[in-house]
């Protein structure tokens, strides 16, 4: 019997921030709730490596987590628009992703966790956003358009593949490609291998996450402060004069940015993204004195 051939067509769809910002904000809050469960029930890892979610063929996942002597996983399905809680004992609970207040989603999701004997204690307030509203009180964010949520996922799924290719060129320590639910971006981080002492007076997040030299690359859908999707890159600590060493420096963000619309309309989006990631990495690595042999040529 002949093998079936699956032909995948990669299309980078439009993703204008202004058109889906309300859905984005609601999805952001819902994913923070899911992500905080992973944070609460996994051991801390340097640079908050236990925090992110990961891409799947249908959305995002926590990966397996231990709780109450068992194992469970939370998957966010952005095709059928539901959150699945599945256990190693074969139990499954479903929570709808639909147009309703974050407070309702929070109550529904936590009730289903409790029903499975999974008890995650965490600060029930969103992180890394301005004017955070406690989840249980958030009736402000309630928009959810499935088409826009799925379109965001389609962009993420393709950005994930390009970031994995970028990651494969590095010999040193590097993070997986993962999705940070706080800052709401897909990222890969390269490490020079040298420690950093965080500046005095920084907050808890920065103190635990900013103790190593890194070069980070990723994708971000935008925010009210920067209302457009973009690929980004930065080196930490920021080398002096780096903004003059590669194309795309954004004074608004304080890092390099490549607008998503420029990518999706280019002759080869993949090539444009990889060129941006590699050129900005080399600028920071050169100025920061990173070992050139860390990159596979």
Summarize pLDDT for 207-251 with one digit per residue, the tens. 677 889 999 999 999 999 999 999 999 999 999 999 999 999 999
- The pLDDT, as a whole number, for residue 8 is 52
Question: How far is the C-alpha of 235 from the C-alpha of 43, rounded, in Å?
Answer: 27
C-beta of residue 231 within 8 angstroms of C-beta of residue 180: no
Q: Degrees (nearest 5) of the Cα angle 225, 228, 229?
A: 120
Q: What pLDDT score does 4 carry?
A: 46
Contact 231, 15 (CB under 8 A): no
Least confident of 6-15, 32-41, 237-246, 272-281: 6-15
- Structural contact between residues 38 and 53, judged by C-beta atoms closer than 8 angstroms: yes
Tens digit of each residue's pLDDT (9 = 90 or more) over 262-283: 999 999 999 999 999 999 999 9
Helix pair 17-41, 102-115: axis angle to 10 deg:
30
pTM of the model: 0.94
- Tell me if residue 252 falls in helix, strand or coil: coil
260 torsion bin: left (phi>0), alpha (psi -120 to 50), beta (else): alpha
The pLDDT-based confidence of 1 (bands split at 50, 70, 90) is very low
Share of the chain above pLDDT 70, in %: 96
Structure tokens given for 76: 């966010």
């Amino acid at each position: 019997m002949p093998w079936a051939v699956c032909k995948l067509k990669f299309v980078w769809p439009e993703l204008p921030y202004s058109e889906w910002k309300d859905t984005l904000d609601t999805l952001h809050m819902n994913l923070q709730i899911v992500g905080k469960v992973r944070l609460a029930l996994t051991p801390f890892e340097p640079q908050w490596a236990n925090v992110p979610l990961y891409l799947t063929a249908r959305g995002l996942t926590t990966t397996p987590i231990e709780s109450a002597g068992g194992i469970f996983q939370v998957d966010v399905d952005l095709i059928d628009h539901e959150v699945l809680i599945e256990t190693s004992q074969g139990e499954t609970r479903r929570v709808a992703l639909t147009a309703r207040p974050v407070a309702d989603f929070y109550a529904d999701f936590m009730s289903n966790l409790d029903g499975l004997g999974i008890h995650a204690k965490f600060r029930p307030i969103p992180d890394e956003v301005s004017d955070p509203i406690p989840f249980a009180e958030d009736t402000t964010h309630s928009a959810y358009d499935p088409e826009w949520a799925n379109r965001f996922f389609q962009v993420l799924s393709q950005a994930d593949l390009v970031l994995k290719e970028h990651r494969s060129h590095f010999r040193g320590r590097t993070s997986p490609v993962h999705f940070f639910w706080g800052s709401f971006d897909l990222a890969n981080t390269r490490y020079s291998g040298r420690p950093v002492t965080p500046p005095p007076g920084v907050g808890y997040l920065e103190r635990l996450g900013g103790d190593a030299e890194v070069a980070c690359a990723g994708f971000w859908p935008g925010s009210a402060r920067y209302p457009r999707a973009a690929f980004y890159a930065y080196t930490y600590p920021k080398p002096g004069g780096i903004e003059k060493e590669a194309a795309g420096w954004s004074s608004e963000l304080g890092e390099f940015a490549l607008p998503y619309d420029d990518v999706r309309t280019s002759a080869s989006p993949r090539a444009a993204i990889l060129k941006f990631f590699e050129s900005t990495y080399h600028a920071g690595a050169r100025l920061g004195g990173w070992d050139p042999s860390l990159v596979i040529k």
